[in-house]
Amino acid sequence: MKEMGTPDVYMDVRFNTAVCAKGIRNVPHCIPVGLSIKHNKDEDSPNELYTLVTYVPVTS
């Protein structure tokens, strides 16, 4: 939260799929991610910004 600059952090579905691709016991050590700060459209939320974590596929 301190490093992101926003108290709300949301993870994309593709990121969650990449983490769980090898199963629970064999989690990958390195996953390329993209972080983006977006405006919150939810009117009930006290925070105006949130961080979105997305998976960035790499061809190697």
Higher pLDDT, 34 or 6: 34
Buried b (16+ CB within 10 A) or exposed e, 12-22: eeebeebeeee
In a domain, 31, yes or no: yes
Higher pLDDT, 1 or 60: 60
Domain that includes residue 26, residue range = 9-55
In a domain, 1, yes or no: no
In a domain, 50, yes or no: yes
Please report the pLDDT score of residue 45 as a whole number.
Answer: 82
In a domain, 3, yes or no: no
What are the tens digits of pLDDT across the range 11-60? Answer: 999 999 999 999 989 988 999 999 999 998 888 888 889 999 999 998 87
Band of pLDDT at residue 1, cut at 50, 70 and 90: low
Count of domains forming the chain: 1
Q: Hunting for tokens 């991610």 — which residue is that?
A: 33
In a domain, 23, yes or no: yes
pTM exceeding the 0.85 threshold for the entire prediction: no
In a domain, 15, yes or no: yes
